[in-house]
Structure 1
Amino acid sequence: MTQLFEEELHKKIKILNETTWESKVKKPKIIKWLDNFKTQEEKSHALFLLSNFMYFGNIQIRQLLISLYRDLFKYPAVEKIRLGNDNTTDISFINEQFVIAQKKTRFIGLGNASESGAHLLYWFRQENGLSVDLFPDSSGIFNFESGETLTLKEMDVDHYVLFDDFCGSGRQACTYSDEIVTKIKAINPNIRVSCLMLFATKKGKERVVKKSKFDFVDAVVELDDSFKCFDSNSRYFQNCPDHIDKEFMKKICMEYCEPLVRSVWVKEGFEGEKLEKMVQGTTLGFGDCQLLIGFYHNTPNNTLPIIWYDEKEETWFPIFKRFNKIYNS
């Protein structure tokens, strides 16, 4: 029965690979990934997890970039224009005012220029037919004048949109809020600063809303706790075969992922209690997100490490590789 079940999983994965996964996971690669695991029972459970992996390719990401601009930026801006003008339905007037509002907006990648948020801004501009003038160049948005005086390079801009592809724990967005939004608000508290994302976990988004200084936070796709692999309401283990056991799969992940993430944090210079705390909070994905999600350009570290780990310190073959950030050369 188990063999028949695994054959069905391979068929499902083959269809996913041909239709959604951009042919990135063919059978030889799957077999090599399964060889990371010791027993046939472990391999069967791992294959089940893989069959539930959500991958967003080139086409899907481009469509989501269109949705982000339309649903999270344009529609709210148009609604604001209407409400500020006696609920007008004058299309010509609304379009004229929207063009004016957009010209006073700047889109910025959340993180530095080499990270995924900034990387996707190129496609975001293309897909939505936006002017390059709406995207600040590499010199940033601030002027550093004599002494410690900080000013904005463009004084007529009244809305900054910080953009990212994914929010897992919410930590990065909150950090960027402390570093950037605080400075903008100190110069001019009337400037609106938004944080828009393609994907966000529900808890990550809630953290950004509560703990950051953004005026508006939203995501195109919000992942609730059912996307958390081992949550009590996990969608992955509902109506699954009797021989697939969630607690057994969690035990496997804890066993294999612990040394993988430990090697990442040791490499980053963590040790002692700080190391143990980092390992504990990231064994099943950064922020304990326990996700099964990946994108054409990268796999977030909030996904289970058995999916993406590919570091020299531990021998592990990834199925959807992650390109980790390197902070120290």
Structure 2
Amino acid sequence: MQNNIINIDEIIRVFIEKYGEETYYTRGIKEKLLNWINNTEDIEIKNILLELFNEFKLFNKLEIKQIMEEQLIECLKCVDIDYTNICHFPSVGNVYNSSSEMIPLIREIDRERGNIYLYKDTIVHGIEEISDDIESVIFFDDISGTGGTIIKFLEKNIDFIREKEIYLNLVAITKVAKIEIDKFKQENNDLKIYLKYKYEFDKVFVYLDRLEYGHKDKLHKFEEDVWGQNNKNILGYEDSQLLVGFEHNIPNNTISSFWLSSEMLREEKKWNPLFHRYTPRRRPKKNRKNQNRNAKKLGG
């Protein structure tokens, strides 16, 4: 691995040339990057992080929309629009899912193209809005890192999907997730599930030959010292080892050094994030009770 620290200005220039400086994640990227690598004094870790930064792929809004448009047009060729709903991929449990950011893009595509004619109620916000007469459901999500969220949803709603055609559209998928989803489809071959994706990614320490196996161990130990032992976010959720971001958010499958922030840590450790990962806060239960009580008073 070369000494990336002495080439940091060139690394930043190449990044800006690729992605510009106008979006939330690219604005002020030089200052963010310098603060980020200064989270550690370890020269080898700095070089590893910069090598990984060179490999990072950031999808902007236009690119995401182009991919979604291609997938939507392909799906609409296979379904009867009169009996079809479009939905973001649902979360399982009370967990934020950035796929909800995809649905406004579908509305933009529908409005801008002029030759995709969706009904007012074609797009829904959850499967509870889907009526029994619907034959096809087209889901959109940005990425599947492990396949776990998709499979849990399918298992939980097996009766719902049994009589419908299910189209799963992703911007990207990992090799691990594809294997798991294909396995589920084979075990449930009576279900009509169609998986579509544009990019397939592997774990970065598997394919990036500029990094050696010892570098993975070094970074693992570094993130373990920050998160604590056995944390699922080390090297990305469940060791996903991805280097992917979207204009609307950074998936937790991306190596956590890229999106970690001080607020996420239980102990008081200062950490300057490179890319802030958006995770909405939950309202405290006490506030929710007060809100409900106030609503009752207002309602008489």
* TM-score using structure 2 length: 0.77
What is the letter of the counterpart of residue 36 of structure 1?
A: N
Distance 1:285 1:137 in 2: 28
Is 1:49–2:52 an aligned residue pair? yes
Change in 2 beyond 3 A, CA 1:131/1:47: same
* Contact 1:110/1:163 (8 A) holds in 2: yes
What's the offset of the Cα at 1:179?
2.3
Is 1:105–2:84 an aligned residue pair? yes
Distance 2:125 2:2 in 1: 56
What is the letter of the counterpart of residue 135 of structure 1?
A: I
* Contact 1:260/1:309 (8 A) holds in 2: no
* Contact 1:230/1:290 (8 A) holds in 2: yes
The Cα offsets for residues 174-209 of structure 1, whole Å up to 9 and x where unpaired, read as: 1111223x1314xxx432223222211122022123
What's the offset of the Cα at 1:26?
2.5
* Contact 2:87/2:127 (8 A) holds in 1: no
Is 1:316–2:271 an aligned residue pair? yes
Q: How does 1:43-82 map to 2 (within 5 A)?
A: 43-71=46-74, 73-75=75-77, 77=78
Distance 1:123 1:105 in 2: 18
What's the offset of the Cα at 1:137?
4.8
Distance 2:178 2:65 in 1: 22
Is 1:183–2:176 an aligned residue pair? no
* Contact 2:101/2:248 (8 A) holds in 1: no
2:238 aligned partner: 287
Q: How does 1:215-226 map to 2 (within 5 A)?
A: 215-225=192-202
Distance 2:119 2:218 in 1: 50
Match of 2:251 among 293, 300, 309: 300
1:269 aligned partner: none
Distance 1:303 1:284 in 2: 7
1:162 aligned partner: 139
Q: How many residues align?
A: 263
What's the offset of the Cα at 1:38?
1.7
The Cα offsets for residues 136-160 of structure 1, whole Å up to 9 and x where unpaired, read as: 256823xxxxxxxxxxx62321111
What's the offset of the Cα at 1:255?
1.8
Change in 2 beyond 3 A, CA 1:305/1:328: farther
2:15 aligned partner: 16
2:204 aligned partner: 229
What's the offset of the Cα at 1:123?
0.6
* Contact 1:196/1:219 (8 A) holds in 2: yes
* Contact 1:9/1:48 (8 A) holds in 2: no
Distance 2:259 2:57 in 1: 13
The Cα offsets for residues 50-96 of structure 1, whole Å up to 9 and x where unpaired, read as: 1111111122112121122134x135x1xxxxxxxxxxxxxxxxxxx
Change in 2 beyond 3 A, CA 1:174/1:29: same
Higher relative contact order (CA 8 A, sep 6+): 2
Secondary structure, counterpart of 1:133 in structure 2: coil
Distance 1:36 1:257 in 2: 12
* Contact 1:200/1:219 (8 A) holds in 2: no
State percent identity of aligned pairs.
Answer: 21
Q: Which runs of 5+ in 2 are unaligned?
A: 112-117, 285-300
What's the offset of the Cα at 1:305?
0.7
* Contact 2:96/2:280 (8 A) holds in 1: no
Distance 2:146 2:250 in 1: 15
Structure with larger Rg: 1
Q: Which runs of 5+ in 1 are unaligned?
A: 78-97, 142-152, 263-274
